[in-house]
């Protein structure tokens, strides 16, 4: 019979877990997400103690899929990996979607997956599978750590493991931040019976996401020279470097909505239409790409076009963006040489940028005029009143959310139509916009937004005084309903989840196949109609609920900053 932990005041599992988590705290880890389980109890109890000592922020979740995406959101906001502690078996497999997202998006993440010791594997022991290596190439490092037995050097081993995990996850080793799995075997007694307390560990310095590898201290790896008609493309996560280069070279900036570079005088909001225009898009000779473009067909088409030279810039990452395998140059950093920056200030240099900016501006004005009603002498017109009372469109919804967002806020965009609508129309603004574009899944969006919200408002040093808004479609929302389940007693996120309800996946209505396939079949297997009472759902999970059916309702719902987790339902026509 296995020994019961109640008989053991000490447990190698607890000693090892305490040493491991302490070292992570010392290295700067702030957040630990855990799901309950017996095999992982030593880690869980050590985590509870660390929370009590004020050394970590502990987030307890039921569903490991939610826990995984919560850690993605926390890391997106803080730039640091969060620890994710789970028990053995299917619990580990439930982390897989978030691991893939973190792998493809380059988000640091450290999984501590508890496992049976070697002697209990491969003999049909309960809740035992092959966990180490489960995530394959998606982890930067995966170590199958034997069960501690109480040898004196085990705490030293734990310290080394924590350092290895941090380095691999933050990209010190591979120049590619991403997931790490420490598969930790534990033998009975699974934790110590005697209570223990932890010294308060001084926190390590916080690193910034993607800032870890200092690859090129001596300036950019590649200098661009003057000549070809150039555009700068900023895909998801590109960051301000894209805007800086566009500015230095005097080039149009085609920046997606979650690029972190959608601002500045060179921004071309209506880049899709302009790329389609022969005398603008057709004239492009060179493309400099930052980040991960995923929202338009025009960008990959441009890069794949004959005669276009493409340079791909990524400070970190394992794979290079390369549509049609047409790009020829790949670099970790780029700059414009002196002749380039000088040429940008000449009339000829300004002409290229000017054409793009003027045309895009004209398109923006035309789009704005469509919704504008003529003003009459009495102030607000009947037509304006009608606009306020009219049903909402996706365009009105994204415009209103964009207008309501400020630099101290966070905006998380789900996959599907609303992010594309935003990308097509919202003007430049220096706000933080995040989206899981690593794999563009409709899973885990609520959990990711919760992570962003909780990390941004975290005491004692909140990174933001604002609110987090998540804007997503109804299927995306329903996919992640389980993440609404919060732990009583934990800090409540200032999060407003805004759901565009059009009854199903209306993005598929825009596919070419919709014109030829039987309408009934399209409805049944692609649009997939769903009807859920969100008000009852909100009540069941203890979230506040509002509905905005008109523009006036929406403006109201977006001005009062929510103090509690809130669901805002916005009915949309399909």
Ligand X SMILES: Cc1ncc(C[n+]2csc(CCOP(=O)(O)OP(=O)(O)O)c2C)c(N)n1
Residues that bind ligand X (CB under 6 A): 415-418, 440-443, 473-476, 502, 505-507
* Span from 2-10, 372-380, 473-481, 539-547 in contact with Mg ion (CB under 5 A): 473-481
394-404 and 551-559 are packed helices; what angle lies between their axes, rounded to 10 degrees? 20
CB of residue 567 to Mg ion, shortest distance in Å = 15
**Distant-in-sequence, close-in-space partners of 59: CB < 8 Å, separation ≥ 6:** 31, 32, 33, 34, 67, 70, 74, 454, 487, 490
CB of residue 509 to ligand X, shortest distance in Å = 8
In the bound state, the residue with its beta carbon closest to ligand X is: 473
First and final CA of the chain: distance in angstroms? 62
CB of residue 507 to Mg ion, shortest distance in Å = 8
Of 110, 24, 26, 27, residue with least CA distance to 67: 110
CB of residue 323 to Mg ion, shortest distance in Å = 27
CB of residue 404 to ligand X, shortest distance in Å = 20
**Burial class, 551, CB count within 10 angstroms (exposed 0-12 / middle 13-18 / buried 19+):** buried
Q: Judged by CB, which is closer to Mg ion: 417, or 424?
A: 417
Strand partners, 230: 286
**266 phi/psi in degrees, rounded to 5:** -90, 0
Q: Judged by CB, which is closer to ligand X: 399, or 443?
A: 443
**Distant-in-sequence, close-in-space partners of 448: CB < 8 Å, separation ≥ 6:** 69, 70, 72, 73, 76, 412, 434, 436, 470
Q: Judged by CB, which is closer to ligand X: 210, or 414?
A: 414
CB of residue 468 to Mg ion, shortest distance in Å = 21
Calpha distance 504→475 (Å, rounded): 6
Q: What is the dihedral of CA 259, 264, 265, 267, to 10 degrees?
A: 10
Q: Judged by CB, which is closer to ligand X: 59, or 417?
A: 417
CB of residue 557 to Mg ion, shortest distance in Å = 19
Calpha distance 204→159 (Å, rounded): 14
Q: Which does 441 bind (CB under 5 to 8 A by kind): Mg ion, ligand X, none?
A: ligand X
Q: Judged by CB, which is closer to ligand X: 96, or 332?
A: 96
Q: Which does 77 bind (CB under 5 to 8 A by kind): Mg ion, ligand X, none?
A: none
* Span from 48-56, 153-161, 292-300, 469-477 in contact with Mg ion (CB under 5 A): 469-477
Q: Judged by CB, which is closer to ligand X: 73, or 505?
A: 505
CB of residue 168 to ligand X, shortest distance in Å = 27
Assess 480 for contact with Mg ion (CB under 5 A): no
Assess 474 for contact with Mg ion (CB under 5 A): yes
Q: Judged by CB, which is closer to ligand X: 301, or 526?
A: 526
* Span from 285-293, 346-354, 489-497, 501-509 in contact with Mg ion (CB under 5 A): 501-509
Q: Which does 415 bind (CB under 5 to 8 A by kind): ligand X, Mg ion, none?
A: ligand X
Calpha distance 552→546 (Å, rounded): 13
Assess 569 for contact with Mg ion (CB under 5 A): no
CB of residue 532 to ligand X, shortest distance in Å = 11
Q: Judged by CB, which is closer to ligand X: 52, or 297?
A: 297
Long-range contacts of 318-325 (CB under 8 A, 24+ apart): 318/174, 318/176, 318/178, 321/235, 321/289, 321/291, 321/292, 321/293, 323/299, 324/300
CB of residue 98 to ligand X, shortest distance in Å = 11
Q: Which does 417 bind (CB under 5 to 8 A by kind): Mg ion, ligand X, none?
A: ligand X
Q: Which does 33 bind (CB under 5 to 8 A by kind): Mg ion, ligand X, none?
A: none
Q: Which does 139 bind (CB under 5 to 8 A by kind): Mg ion, ligand X, none?
A: none
Sole binder of Mg ion in the list 106, 473, 493, 565 (CB under 5 A): 473
What tokens does 558 get?
A: 């977006």
Calpha distance 436→72 (Å, rounded): 9
What tokens does 413 get?
A: 């965009």
Strand partners, 434: 412
Strand partners, 126: none
Q: Judged by CB, which is closer to ligand X: 348, or 515?
A: 515
For residue 125, give Cα distances in angstroms to 91, 133, 185: 16, 19, 14
Assess 502 for contact with Mg ion (CB under 5 A): yes
Cβ atoms of 115 and 155 closer than 8 Å: no
Calpha distance 148→185 (Å, rounded): 8
Q: Judged by CB, which is closer to Mg ion: 64, or 502?
A: 502
Q: Judged by CB, which is closer to ligand X: 525, or 540?
A: 525
CB of residue 500 to ligand X, shortest distance in Å = 6
For residue 175, give Cα distances in angstroms to 209, 210, 237, 319, 469: 11, 8, 16, 11, 31
Q: Judged by CB, which is closer to ligand X: 272, or 417?
A: 417
What mask, x for binding Mg ion by CB under 5 A, covers residues 408 to 427? --------------------
CB of residue 63 to Mg ion, shortest distance in Å = 23
Cβ atoms of 503 and 532 closer than 8 Å: no
Contact residues: Mg ion, CB under 5 A: 473-474, 502
């Amino acid at each position: 019979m296995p020994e019961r932990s109640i008989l053991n005041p000490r447990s190698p599992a607890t000693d090892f877990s305490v040493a491991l988590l302490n070292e992570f705290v010392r290295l700067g880890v702030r957040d630990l997400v855990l799901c309950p389980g017996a095999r992982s109890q030593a880690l869980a109890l050590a985590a509870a103690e660390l929370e009590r000592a004020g050394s970590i922020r502990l987030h307890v979740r039921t569903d490991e899929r939610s826990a995984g995406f919560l850690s993605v959101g926390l890391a997106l906001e803080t730039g640091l990996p969060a620890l994710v502690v789970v028990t053995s078996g299917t619990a580990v497999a439930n982390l897989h979607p978030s691991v893939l997202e973190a792998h493809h998006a380059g988000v640091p993440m450290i999984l501590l997956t508890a496992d049976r010791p070697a002697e209990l594997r491969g003999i049909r022991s309960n809740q035992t599978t092959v966990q180490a290596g489960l995530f394959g190439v998606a982890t930067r490092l995966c170590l199958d750590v034997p069960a501690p037995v109480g040898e004196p050097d085990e705490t030293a081993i734990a310290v080394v493991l924590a350092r290895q995990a941090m380095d691999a996850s933050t990209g010190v080793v591979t120049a590619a931040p991403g997931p790490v799995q420490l598969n930790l075997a534990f033998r009975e007694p699974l934790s110590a019976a005697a209570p223990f307390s932890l010294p308060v560990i001084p926190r390590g310095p916080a690193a910034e996401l993607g800032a870890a590898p200092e690859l090129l201290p001596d300036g950019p790896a590649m200098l661009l020279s003057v000549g070809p008609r150039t555009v700068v493309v900023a895909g998801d996560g590109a960051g301000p470097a894209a805007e800086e280069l566009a500015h230095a070279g005097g080039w149009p900036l085609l920046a997606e909505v979650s690029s972190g570079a959608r601002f500045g005088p060179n921004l071309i909001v209506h880049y899709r239409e302009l790329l389609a225009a022969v005398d603008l898009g057709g004239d492009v000779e060179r493309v400099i790409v930052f980040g991960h473009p995923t929202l338009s067909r025009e960008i990959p088409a441009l890069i794949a076009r004959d005669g276009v030279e493409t340079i791909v810039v990524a400070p970190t990452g394992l794979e290079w963006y390369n549509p049609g395998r047409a790009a020829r140059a790949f670099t970790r950093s780029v700059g414009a040489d002196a002749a380039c920056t000088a040429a940008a200030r000449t009339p000829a240099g300004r002409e290229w940028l000017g054409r793009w900016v003027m045309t895009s501006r004209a398109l923006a004005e035309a789009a704005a005029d469509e919704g504008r009603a003529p003003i009459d002498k009495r102030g607000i017109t009947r037509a304006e009143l009608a606009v306020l009372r009219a049903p909402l469109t996706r365009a009105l919804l994204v415009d209103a959310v964009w207008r309501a967002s400020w630099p101290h806020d966070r905006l998380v965009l789900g996959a599907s139509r609303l992010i594309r609508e935003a990308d097509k129309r919202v003007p430049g603004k220096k706000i933080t916009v995040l989206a899981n574009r690593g794999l563009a899944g409709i899973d885990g969006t609520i959990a990711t937004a919760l992570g962003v919200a909780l990390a941004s408002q975290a005491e004692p040093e909140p990174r933001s005084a604002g609110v987090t808004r998540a804007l997503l479609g109804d299927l995306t929302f329903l996919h992640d309903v389980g993440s609404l389940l919060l732990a009583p007693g934990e800090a409540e996120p200032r999060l407003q989840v805004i759901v565009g309800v059009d009854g199903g996946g209306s993005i598929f209505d825009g596919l070419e196949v919709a014109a030829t396939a039987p309408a009934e079949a399209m409805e049944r297997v692609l649009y997939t109609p769903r009807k859920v009472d969100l008000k009852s759902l909100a009540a069941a999970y203890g979230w506040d609920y509002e509905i905005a059916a008109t523009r006036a309702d929406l403006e109201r719902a977006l001005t009062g900053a929510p103090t509690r987790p809130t669901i805002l339902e916005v009915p949309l026509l399909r």
